Structure 1
């Protein structure tokens, strides 16, 4: 069995299919891992969700910030970003089934045999593995509850829970977990999350900010961390124990597939619009 990890698809379904054909992906034998943001700016969000739903046990997915935003848009508590192409998905006859499937997807995936952790944006450096499991599993339980829109999705649009501490309420812990695992890029020197700067690391001029993966982390001392989310990084990280897979396909760059067993990366450039 081969294990392939793909960066942020964001509705770039045709590029995904071409990429998988390059490696002769066979769902009866291989497994496809996706770092989240299955939907949004590309034209094929509907096809992407249907594809992963049909893969069933041959796919391992984590939720990204755009996937979480889809829940709010579908519930009509937020409007779709004009630059997203969610119309066909939102009006699809199987939208309820697709939303139900997406709600079952976690914020992290663990591959114990290879000591590997996959999240959308990364893992807070100060978190141990048990903390990741506890916090992310609680968010998943809330997401799968009947009142998930009011109790979780409707409350997650805040930058307030940006620093981890023991006295946080359950709501604050859930929001911090979502912010850290799906939105994190730069951290301040005190470890708090920064939501303003989205530049490449070398272009950031704020001396108090540095990429989360440059902070001394606990989990990446024992595990490989796989993440996406930060297209400006373009896969360039300073550690062999971290794999950055978002290479900006939806922004005109390319989609990246990492083959775990051979440690090789295969890419597919963004297709030109007709």
Structure 2
């Protein structure tokens, strides 16, 4: 069995197909792990969702911020931007099935035999492994509840800098987890989330901001984190425990596939 981890696909179905052909991916024996943001920006998000739904146990994904945004748009709680390219999903006959498929996906997956954690944006340095498991599970339970739209999706957006506290309760606690695991890039020096800066760390002049993965974390030192979300990194973290896989395919760069067993990155140039 081979384990392949793929960066932010964002509707780039053709590039994904070419990557899977390059490694002769076989769902009967291999597994494909996706760091989230399956949809938006690229031309064929519908095909990407259908592919992952069809993979069943051979496909493992976590939710990204664009995937959660799709849940809000599909329910009429948010308006889609033209650049999101979500209309084919909204009009699809199997749209309800695909949305329910997404609702069943977690914010965090773990490959314990390889000591690997996968989330969309990373793991807040304040969290140890048990906290990460507990908080992500609570969000998953909220997504599966009958009132998930009113109780969670309609309230998950905020632009206020947030910091972690065990005293957080209710939707505030769920919202911090969503924001940390799907939107995090830079943190303020006090550990609070910053939602404004999307640049590469090399271009940021502020003394108050630093990439989340440069903070001292609470996870076991032998664990690796695989994440996406931050295209400006172009796969570079300068930390062998932190594997960044978003390499901006939807922006004209390339899609990256990481072969765990070979410790190898395979890329496909954007076709756009």
Under a length normalisation based on structure 2, what TM-score does the superposition of the two structures give? 0.99
Is the Cα contact below 8 Å between 1:161 and 1:172 reproduced in 2? no
What's the C-alpha RMSD, in Å, of the aligned pairs? 0.8
| Counterpart in the other structure of 2:70 | 70
Segment of structure 1 superposing worse, 218-227 or 93-102: 218-227
CA contact (8 A) 2:249 2:269 kept: yes
Cα offset, 1:159, TM superposition: 2.8
Q: Secondary structure at the match of 2:82?
A: coil
Residues 121 and 230, structure 2, Cα contact 8 Å, conserved in 1: yes
Task: Write out per-residue CA displacement over residues 20-41 of structure 1, whole angstroms, 9 at most, x where no aligned residue.
Answer: 0000000001000000000001
- Counterpart in 1 of 2:156? 156
- CA distance in 1 between partners of 2:179 and 2:222 (Å): 24
Indicate whether 1:225 and 2:225 are aligned: yes
CA distance in 1, matches of 2:88, 2:181: 28
**1:247 paired residue number:** 247
Shift of 1:220: 5.6
CA contact (8 A) 1:161 1:175 kept: no
Q: Equivalent residue of 1:97, what SS? A: helix
SS of match in other structure, 1:136: helix
| Aligned residue in 2 for 1:12 | 12
2:183 matched to which residue of 1? 183
- TM-score, structure 1 normalization: 0.98
Q: Distance in 2 between matches of 1:146 and 1:140?
A: 12
Once the two structures are superposed, residues 167-213 of structure 1 have per-residue CA deviations (whole angstroms, 9 ceiling, x without a partner) of 21221110000000000000010000000100000101111100000
For structure 2, the 5+ residue unaligned runs are none
Segments of structure 1 that go 5 or more residues without pairing to the other structure are none
The answer on 1:100 being equivalent to 2:100 is yes
3-state SS of paired residue (1:194): coil
- Indicate conservation of the 8 Å contact 1:36/1:63, yes or no: yes
1:49 aligns with 2:86: no
- The number of residue pairs the alignment matches comes to 272
- From the superposition, tell whether residues 9 and 57 of structure 1 become closer, same or farther in structure 2 (CA, over 3 Å): same
Q: Distance in 2 between matches of 1:220 and 1:247?
A: 27
Q: Could you list the structure 1 runs, at least 4 aligned residues long, displaced by more than 4 angstroms after superposition.
A: none
